[in-house]
């Protein structure tokens, strides 16, 4: 659920008739070698691409169109063509020790690519198409992971940095989002948005367009093909189809490129954690490619063991990304402060108590005026200013609008030291831990080396091996031990 800060941002956008910035840092990487990929599917045909525009950032697209994607061989040619481009991109990235990044216009496109990948990586008829599906699976498997840099939607990227004065669902239309961010002059914003909304920016063309323009041309092509028309005629008819579709896909491509330009030119520094996120992406890509080289297949349905690994990795990513934005972005920090995810206040009463000749306890109080706080006794917090300083909350006492948190320093007594009275300190439960996943995976590998019967779908519960005669009243026997 969006918080109060995002609500205020939308109010400001509504008031001003233009989107307002909601980030102080760029929250995702824009790789200069990224591919911009804009496919259009045929309506009702969930694993097709009728026309695709693909190109590098800032470059015009290459376009490939098939007359009728329901004709398998033609469709496979498009996939093989696109797959070759993706393969080249992957190879270049791999050689450079980098990772491939693909930009699409919106979530609908990402979902469509996911459907394609899930389907085509099992293709038994065409090795090139199968490879295309496999490679695309890298992007689509990474997409649901928070903080991933492999598959970026323009709408998602813009929404991380801008709040509009419309509903969150409407932000998924790239055209309306761009209208809010760069509203056309001399036009009421709502009129501009209504106009922008009519231009397809996802993965499908308008039903009206299909009815009036595309379907007649595709039908004519098919009729000619079935009637044994000559190649010249077929090419001409195919050309008419491309003529109809190309402006649509170019518009989406241009919109996506425009989004990338806007993000690049925001002039915002990168989120400090981006280098860690990209490092993670490189590792994931290398691991993915090594698995493909070794011939491991990507399952549609996970058995318990891989599911445990994947869910753990996703949770780790979600925690780390949230912590990274909280720590590294000014608006992220403000959001967290308002929602009580950080404790922010003034230090009072710092003191050192001797516990034994060589052991001391360092304590201080933090006095906060935050309206909403989520801190509880025995919570473990880290300083956002210097995460080496970690504390355990000994007590939380609220009186009216003021909360006094008593904290015991558990780490950083020497490295950071006891904060001085009057210092402003901000503490949070989570700070990013980029090595946690490595440790966790290592532990999971160890813990899950054998499948317990509880998680063995083929197995049965073990037979009872040690049945013993119970006492007449086992409850009384236990109670007697009190």
Between 55 and 143, whose beta carbon lies closer to another protein?
143
Question: Whole-number minimum distance, CB 363 to another protein, in Å?
Answer: 12
Question: Whole-number minimum distance, CB 241 to another protein, in Å?
Answer: 12
79, 131, 337, 382: residue in contact with another protein (rule CB under 8 A) = 337
SS3 labels along the chain: CCCHHHHHHHHHHHHHCCCEECCCCECCCCCCCCEEEEEECCCCCCCCCCEEEEEECCCCCEEEECCCCCCHHHHHHHHHHHHHHHHHHHHHHHHCCCCCCEEECCHHHHHHHHHHHHHHCCCCCCHHHHHHHHHHHHHHHHCCCCCCCCEEEHHHHHHHHEECCCCHHHHHCHHHHHHHHCCCCCCCHHHHHHHHHCCCCCCCCCHHHHHHHHHHHHHHHHHHHHCCCCHHHHHHHHHHHHHHHHHHHHHHHHHHHHHHHHHHCCCCCECCCHHHHHHHHHHHHHHHHHHHHCCCCCCCCCCHHHHHHHHHHHHHHHHHHHHHHHHHCHHHHHHHHHHCCEEEEEEEEEEEEEEECCEEEEEEEEEECCCCCCCCCCCEEEECCCCCCEEEEEEEEEECCEEEEEEEEEECCCCCCCCCCCCEEEEECCCCCCCHHHHHHHHHHHHCCCCCHHHCCCCCCCCCCCCCCCCCCHHHHHHCCC
If one asks whether residue 429 binds another protein (CB under 8 A), the answer comes out as no
7, 96, 367, 438: residue in contact with another protein (rule CB under 8 A) = 7
Question: Whole-number minimum distance, CB 308 to another protein, in Å?
Answer: 4
Taking CB under 8 A as the criterion, which residues in 268-307 touch another protein?
300-302, 304-305, 307
If one asks whether residue 414 binds another protein (CB under 8 A), the answer comes out as no
Between 111 and 233, whose beta carbon lies closer to another protein?
111
Stretch that binds another protein, among 113-121, 177-185, 351-359, 421-429 (CB under 8 A): 113-121
Reading the block at residue 429, the tokens are 């439960």
If one asks whether residue 224 binds another protein (CB under 8 A), the answer comes out as no
If one asks whether residue 314 binds another protein (CB under 8 A), the answer comes out as yes
If one asks whether residue 482 binds another protein (CB under 8 A), the answer comes out as yes
Between 56 and 408, whose beta carbon lies closer to another protein?
408
Question: Whole-number minimum distance, CB 135 to another protein, in Å?
Answer: 18
Question: Whole-number minimum distance, CB 448 to another protein, in Å?
Answer: 7
If one asks whether residue 233 binds another protein (CB under 8 A), the answer comes out as no
Reading the block at residue 16, the tokens are 């001003």
If one asks whether residue 317 binds another protein (CB under 8 A), the answer comes out as yes
Size of the site for another protein (CB under 8 A): 119
4, 33, 62, 182: residue in contact with another protein (rule CB under 8 A) = 4
If one asks whether residue 220 binds another protein (CB under 8 A), the answer comes out as no
If one asks whether residue 228 binds another protein (CB under 8 A), the answer comes out as no
Taking CB under 8 A as the criterion, which residues in 80-109 touch another protein?
none
Taking CB under 8 A as the criterion, which residues in 42-71 touch another protein?
42-47
Taking CB under 8 A as the criterion, which residues in 376-405 touch another protein?
376, 378, 392, 397-401
Taking CB under 8 A as the criterion, which residues in 114-133 touch another protein?
114-115, 118-119
If one asks whether residue 266 binds another protein (CB under 8 A), the answer comes out as no
- Which residues on neighbouring strands pair with residue 392, listed in sequence order? 380, 408
User: Residue 307 and residue 120: Cα distance in Å, rounded?
Assistant: 22
Taking CB under 8 A as the criterion, which residues in 170-209 touch another protein?
170, 190, 194, 198, 204-208
264, 410, 413, 423: residue in contact with another protein (rule CB under 8 A) = 410
If one asks whether residue 211 binds another protein (CB under 8 A), the answer comes out as yes
If one asks whether residue 411 binds another protein (CB under 8 A), the answer comes out as yes
């Amino acid at each position: 659920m969006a918080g109060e800060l995002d609500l205020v941002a939308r109010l400001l956008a509504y008031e001003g008739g233009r989107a307002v910035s909601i980030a102080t840092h760029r929250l995702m990487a824009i790789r200069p070698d990224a591919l911009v990929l804009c496919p259009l599917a045929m309506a009702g045909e969930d694993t097709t691409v009728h026309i695709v525009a693909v190109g590098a950032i800032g470059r015009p697209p290459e376009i490939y169109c098939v007359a009728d994607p329901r004709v398998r061989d033609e469709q496979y040619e498009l996939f093989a063509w696109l797959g070759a481009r993706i393969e080249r991109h992957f190879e270049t990235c791999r050689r450079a020790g980098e990772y491939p990044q693909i930009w699409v216009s919106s979530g609908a496109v990402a979902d469509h690519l996911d459907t394609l990948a899930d389907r085509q990586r099992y293709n038994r008829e065409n090795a090139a198409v199968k490879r295309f599906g496999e490679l695309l699976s890298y992007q689509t498997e990474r997409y649901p992971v928070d903080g991933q840099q492999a598959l970026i939607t323009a709408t998602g990227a813009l929404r991380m940095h801008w709040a509009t004065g419309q509903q969150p669902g409407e932000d998924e239309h790239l055209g309306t989002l761009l209208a809010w961010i760069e509203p056309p002059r001399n036009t009421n914003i709502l009129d501009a948005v209504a106009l922008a909304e009519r231009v397809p920016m996802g993965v499908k063309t308008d039903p009206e367009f299909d009815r009036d323009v595309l379907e007649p041309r595709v039908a004519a092509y098919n009729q000619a093909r079935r009637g044994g028309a000559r190649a010249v005629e077929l090419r001409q008819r195919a050309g008419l189809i491309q003529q109809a579709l190309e402006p649509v896909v170019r518009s989406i491509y241009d919109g996506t490129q425009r989004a990338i330009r806007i993000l690049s030119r925001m002039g915002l520094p990168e989120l400090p954690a981006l280098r860690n996120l990209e490092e993670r992406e490189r590792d994931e890509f290398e691991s993915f490619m090594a698995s493909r080289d070794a011939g491991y297949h990507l399952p549609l349905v996970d058995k318990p063991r891989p599911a445990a690994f994947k869910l753990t990795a996703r949770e780790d990513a979600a925690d780390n990304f949230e912590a990274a934005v909280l720590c590294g972005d000014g608006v992220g920090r403000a959001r967290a402060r308002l929602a009580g995810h950080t404790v922010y206040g003034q230090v009072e009463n710092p003191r050192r108590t001797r516990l034994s000749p060589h052991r001391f306890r360092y304590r201080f109080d933090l006095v906060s005026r935050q309206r909403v706080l989520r801190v509880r006794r025995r919570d473990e917090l880290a300083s956002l200013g210097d995460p080496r300083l970690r504390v355990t909350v000994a007590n939380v006492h609220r009186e009216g609008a003021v909360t006094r948190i008593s904290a015991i320093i558990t780490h950083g007594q020497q490295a950071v030291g006891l904060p001085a009275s009057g210092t402003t300190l901000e503490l949070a439960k989570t700070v990013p831990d980029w090595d946690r996943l490595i440790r966790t995976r290592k532990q999971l590998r160890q813990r899950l080396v054998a499948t317990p019967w509880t998680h063995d779908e083929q197995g049965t519960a073990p037979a009872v091996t040690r049945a013993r005669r119970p006492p007449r009243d086992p409850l009384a026997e236990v109670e007697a031990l009190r």
